[in-house]
Amino acid sequence: MSVIQINNLTKKYPSPDNPSEYFNAVDGVSLTIEAGEVYGLLGPNGAGKTTTLEMLEGLCDIDGGSAFVDQIDVQKNPYKVKQIIGVQLQANEYFDNLSLTELLKLFGGLYRRKVDPEALLAHVDLVEKARAKPESLSGGQKQRFSIACALVNDPKVLFLDEPTTGLDPRAKHNLWDLVRSLNETGMTIVMTTHNMEEAEILCNRIAIMDHGKLIAQGSPQELILKYAPEPPEKVLHGNLEGVFLALTGHGLRD
């Protein structure tokens, strides 16, 4: 059963070179995400991944097409959509004078929910930091806490925007374990990432975007067999990287 349906989704912005002209940051994207999937959005910087997520989350207006989350029209009922999703952003700023427990209670209040901070912190392996302030956390701990904040409303769909960027290998694998455990509860997870190994390990299906368009979609193995069946001459980090380069022509740091 599908939980997200996008049809011809479009977002326009003024051109940096000529503000009187517009370009499509997201250009007619259509896709369906099934309930219980871990679904990945891949693409070079500026491909439209984050903008697509922001429209689904009701954080920016939809200029064309339609988007439904759990059969709710995002354009007509953005507030209702926000009640059933969790959003972990690339960067977060908190009230630094509040502890993790106090912050979770605060976020719960925004949803008019009485939350159990200890249970949420246990979910992300941060119980021992319950009285700590955000500034005292390591990079991996901050990422896990941002996910705890996104879970206060017990979301049906969790959106993760490059969740392991800047993390060391141990913190990255800890966060992967967290994503797996959340997905095992039946939660649908939609994530953007530049990490090909991460996408191949975690995602049931992947969409690759470039210049605002969806250019390929399928399971990691389907995409590898179709676009990168032979090992490249140059050793790459992760089989999906060959798919990414074959489709977009961009290196991951371009």
* pLDDT at site 231: 63
Is the C-alpha dihedral spanning 178, 52, 86, 185 positive or negative?
Answer: negative
Contact at 8 Å (CB) between 147 and 178?
yes
Residue 32: both structure tokens together: 């369906």
The order of strands in the sheet holding 205-210 is 85-88, 157-161, 188-192, 38-42, 205-210, 213-218
Report the pLDDT value the prediction gives residue 92, as an integer from 0 to 100. Answer: 66
C-alpha to C-alpha distances, 201 to 38, 147, 179, 221, 250, nearest whole angstrom: 10, 19, 11, 11, 22
Note the pLDDT of residue 181.
95
Q: Are 124 and 175 in contact (CB under 8 A)?
A: no
DSSP 3-state assignment of 149? helix
pLDDT of the residue at 90: 61
What single-letter amino acid sits at 101?
A: T
Q: Which domains does the chain have, with CATH numbers?
A: 1-83+189-254 (3.40.50.300)
What is d(CA 171, CA 140) in angstroms, rounded to the nearest whole number?
A: 5
Q: Which pLDDT score, from 0 to 100, does residue 110 have?
A: 86
pLDDT at 252: 44
Residues 3 and 155: beta-carbon distance below 8 Å: no
CA–CA separation, 68 and 253 (whole Å) = 32
CB-count burial class (<10 Å; 0-12, 13-18, 19+) for 125:
middle
Average pLDDT of each block of 10 consecutive residues along the chain (254 residues)? 96 90 95 97 92 94 97 95 88 76 92 91 93 90 91 95 87 91 96 90 96 95 85 57 70 44
Which stretch of DSSP H or E encloses residue 106?
Answer: helix 100-110
**pLDDT recorded at residue 2:** 94
The pTM score is 0.86
- Residue 11: per-residue pLDDT: 97
